[in-house]
Amino acid sequence: MNITVLGSGTIGQSWCALFLAAGHRVVAYDPNPNMQQQILDAIARAQSTLDALGYPGSGCSECLEFTTDAREAVKGSRFIQENAPEDLSLKHALYQEIETALDSDAVLLSSTSGLTLGELQDGLTNPSRLVIAHPFNPPHLIPLVEVLGNDLTRSGLVPEVLGFYESLGKVPIELKKSVPGHVANRLQAVLWQEVLHLAKEGVASLPDIDKAIANGPGLRWAVYGPNQLFSLAAGDQGLLGFIQHLGPSFENWWSSAGQVTFDDDTQRLIEQQYVDVNGLDTEEMKRRRDQIICQILSMKKAT
Amino acid sequence: MNITVLGSGTIGQSWCALFLAAGHRVVAYDPNPNMQQQILDAIARAQSTLDALGYPGSGCSECLEFTTDAREAVKGSRFIQENAPEDLSLKHALYQEIETALDSDAVLLSSTSGLTLGELQDGLTNPSRLVIAHPFNPPHLIPLVEVLGNDLTRSGLVPEVLGFYESLGKVPIELKKSVPGHVANRLQAVLWQEVLHLAKEGVASLPDIDKAIANGPGLRWAVYGPNQLFSLAAGDQGLLGFIQHLGPSFENWWSSAGQVTFDDDTQRLIEQQYVDVNGLDTEEMKRRRDQIICQILSMKKAT
């Protein structure tokens, strides 16, 4: 089928690579004609990952069409993944431009991380076809997609959208309520807050806390979520048994968890303790990160 | 060398398997003579994991000696890993029993997760040889060991202990200050608190949040810690550049993060939403968890 990608920054480029790899035709739109080459480069870079993940058509760049005309881009597409900059007026202008060119059954999927569904809906005459579908970067690699509709959303559309992403090999979850940051970014945030708090308190250095996570609980979080892990830790007692046993400890740790802001103290701490690249260059570390994640995903499928 | 393991519950058993696999002789103590067979069973169960991790001597059960005499157990050992139940009076009684039988250079390493170093030191005439060395379960698999000394600790001992665990292939980090729950458990706690908060608020179900973690940020946390990951996300801007750009969003998410307790509401939520085993049995899921973690560790070494 035809899928449209609106906005061809890093997120849009990664979606292009994924949709193509899953065997679809992609029409990519960007107001900047130079983005065509960048999309092609991104598709080439993503190819080995998508091959390793078992996608059939990765790198099929002849299935990609590029246009600087947003109305042309959406014609004939059922699913339209919108990745315009995180600026409400820009997104509204784009919605207004395309709305009358959309197919009658077209579904508009916004990758927004920071804007709310209600705000986005204000930019459409018919908001019932709009759903937030927030990926986790990079979308062609990380399975999670956070999907949110609300009362204005056409009945049955959210399950359809969940099915669409499942058909692409993603793991969508349904958000039932709008909340700043959706779920995954909020969870990253609370974890980081306590990391910064512990470093500020002098309990351990930022690099050592990074080591603790990647050599401790992080290894488990790649396999299961916390509820499942704590339930397993309690064996036949299950999660309620775990709480019976360890609930008071958790409540104690919660009561002494810290709150921080990015004030001068925090920024100084980061300057003093954090060496950004640990002797490797950024691109090399990103490559390693994505290569290991790709292997973890393959192993999880096989195990 | 000889290593003593005091207390042969699940943590002690796992330490035995690790120390043996690393090529050491182990003397295990437990007041209950039936634990000898349980240790042997645990060693057998850990063997394939330790083989896969590349340890030379896994399963060498003839290098294990078992005794119900704690004073006998510590004689001739430089390193003594103590895993008695998390009960201060029990640990103090054990310390009192063994202290006069310790070699002059013996180092006492407590696996405690919940007691403080100060509390433990009160049970020794000579507290300078005691260090907390808290593993992450199971110790033979998860690399992290949290190491804590304080002003009473013999100068130079903490670096020696860090070196000891490194020689065993572990990843020790130094805690510079005592705090309830050390580092890793506190980080697990804050993450779980926001998971429970989001589920209580009706944003997503507990199983869906588990899916979000294990298919989203959890995949990254197995590779690097949050500081490194956010730094990579900012490319050449580094971690301070990341804050420049996304700090306000994080501060917004922090301000709306929730606090929960294990009250009736939370317990009801868990009962309603959480199916403990997802159709698989607990042992099978634990086996899968550990097998995947073992493969992740091998990959990280190779990549």
Q: Which of A221, A125, A278 is nearest to B184 (CA)?
A: A221
Q: What share of chain B is helix, strand, coil (3-state, %, to 5)?
A: 55, 15, 35
Interface test with A, best of B250, B269, B294, B301 (most A CBs within 10 A): B250
Collect all residues of chain B within an 8 Å Cβ-Cβ radius of residue A247. Answer: 262
User: What is the model's pLDDT at position A194?
Assistant: 98
Predicted confidence (pLDDT) at residue A282 exceeds the cutoff of 90: no
Predicted confidence (pLDDT) at residue B235 exceeds the cutoff of 80: no
Considering the domain architecture, whether residues A41 and A147 belong to the same structural domain is answered as yes
User: Mind listing the pLDDT tens digit for each residue in B246-265?
Assistant: 999 999 999 999 999 999 99
Domain end marker among A175, A208, A226: A175
Q: How far is A5 from chain B (nearest CA, A)?
A: 22
Considering the domain architecture, whether residues B171 and B198 belong to the same structural domain is answered as no
Considering the domain architecture, whether residues B118 and B66 belong to the same structural domain is answered as yes
How confident is residue A236, by pLDDT bands cut at 50, 70 and 90? confident
Q: How far is B246 from chain A (nearest CA, A)?
A: 10
Predicted confidence (pLDDT) at residue B276 exceeds the cutoff of 60: no
Collect all residues of chain A within an 8 Å Cβ-Cβ radius of residue B251. Answer: 261-262
Considering the domain architecture, whether residues A30 and A71 belong to the same structural domain is answered as yes
Considering the domain architecture, whether residues B30 and B155 belong to the same structural domain is answered as yes
pLDDT higher at A22 or A282: A22
Considering the domain architecture, whether residues B148 and B279 belong to the same structural domain is answered as no
Asked if A67 and A29 count as a contact pair (C-beta separation under 8 A), the reply is yes
Average pLDDT, chain B: 94
Once rounded to an integer, what is the mean pLDDT over residues B267-271?
Answer: 92
Give the whole-angstrom CA distance, residue A5 versus residue B49. 45
Predicted confidence (pLDDT) at residue B278 exceeds the cutoff of 70: no
Considering the domain architecture, whether residues B201 and B278 belong to the same structural domain is answered as yes
User: What is the model's pLDDT at position A278?
Assistant: 54
Domain end marker among A157, A175, A193: A175
User: What is the model's pLDDT at position A223?
Assistant: 97
Collect all residues of chain A within an 8 Å Cβ-Cβ radius of residue B229. Answer: 289
User: What is the model's pLDDT at position A191?
Assistant: 98
User: What is the model's pLDDT at position B273?
Assistant: 87
Once rounded to an integer, what is the mean pLDDT over residues B141-155?
Answer: 98
Give the whole-angstrom CA distance, residue A301 versus residue A213. 23
Nearest by CB to B210, which of A225, A240, A260?
A225
- Output the CA–CA distances (angstroms, integers) from residue B292 to A221, A239, B47, B208, in the order listed: 11, 22, 15, 21
Give the whole-angstrom CA distance, residue B145 versus residue A204. 13
- At residue A169, the 3 state secondary structure works out as coil
CB distance A179–B195 less than 8 Å?
no
Collect all residues of chain A within an 8 Å Cβ-Cβ radius of residue B285. Answer: 224, 228, 232
Count up the domains in chain A and report the number. 2
Cα-Cα-Cα-Cα dihedral sign, residues B7, B184, A244, A247: positive
CB distance B223–A293 less than 8 Å?
yes
Q: Percent of chain B beyond pLDDT 70?
A: 97
User: Mind listing the pLDDT tens digit for each residue in B121-131?
Assistant: 999 999 999 99
User: Mind listing the pLDDT tens digit for each residue in A184-205?
Assistant: 999 999 999 999 999 999 999 9
CB distance A224–B285 less than 8 Å?
yes
User: What is the model's pLDDT at position A26?
Assistant: 97
Task: Retrieve residue B199's tokens.
Answer: 């589920």
Nearest by CB to B193, which of A214, A227, A254?
A254
Work out whether strand A25-29 and strand A171-175 pair parallel, antiparallel, or are unpaired.
unpaired
Collect all residues of chain A within an 8 Å Cβ-Cβ radius of residue B191. Answer: 187, 190-191, 226
User: What is the model's pLDDT at position A60?
Assistant: 73
Predicted confidence (pLDDT) at residue A279 exceeds the cutoff of 90: no
Considering the domain architecture, whether residues A39 and A137 belong to the same structural domain is answered as yes
Interface test with A, best of B147, B188, B294 (most A CBs within 10 A): B188
Domain end marker among B131, B148, B175: B175
CATH number of the domain enclosing B264: 1.10.1040.10
Considering the domain architecture, whether residues B100 and B16 belong to the same structural domain is answered as yes
User: What is the model's pLDDT at position B275?
Assistant: 65
Q: Which of B42, B2, B45, B44 is nearest to B22 (CA)?
A: B2
Nearest by CB to A173, which of B211, B238, B271?
B211
CATH number of the domain enclosing A134: 3.40.50.720
The gap from C-alpha B128 to its chain's centroid, in whole angstroms, comes to 23
Considering the domain architecture, whether residues B125 and B257 belong to the same structural domain is answered as no
Q: Which of A28-32, A57-61, A166-170, A240-244 has the lowest mean pLDDT?
A: A57-61
Collect all residues of chain B within an 8 Å Cβ-Cβ radius of residue A289. Answer: 220, 223-224, 229, 232
Considering the domain architecture, whether residues A136 and A188 belong to the same structural domain is answered as no
Nearest by CB to A225, which of B209, B262, B267?
B209
User: Mind listing the pLDDT tens digit for each residue in B34-59?
Assistant: 999 999 999 999 999 999 999 987 66
User: Mind listing the pLDDT tens digit for each residue in A57-77?
Assistant: 766 778 999 999 999 999 999
User: Mind listing the pLDDT tens digit for each residue in A72-111?
Assistant: 999 999 999 999 999 999 999 999 999 999 999 999 999 9
User: Structural domain of residue B202, as residue ranges?
Assistant: 184-302
CB distance A114–B194 less than 8 Å?
no
- Cβ-based contacts under 8 A for chains A and B: 349
CB distance B253–A189 less than 8 Å?
yes
Is B282 exposed, middle or buried (CB count within 10 Å of its CB: 0-12, 13-18, 19+)?
middle
Considering the domain architecture, whether residues B47 and B129 belong to the same structural domain is answered as yes
Give the whole-angstrom CA distance, residue A12 versus residue A16. 6
Give the whole-angstrom CA distance, residue B250 versus residue A196. 12
Task: Retrieve residue A228's tokens.
Answer: 């499942």
Nearest by CB to A186, which of B146, B173, B198?
B198
CB distance B212–A146 less than 8 Å?
yes
**DSSP 8-state assignment for residue A130:** E
User: Mind listing the pLDDT tens digit for each residue in B156-199?
Assistant: 999 999 999 999 999 999 999 999 999 999 999 999 999 999 99
Q: How far is B117 from chain A (nearest CA, A)?
A: 14
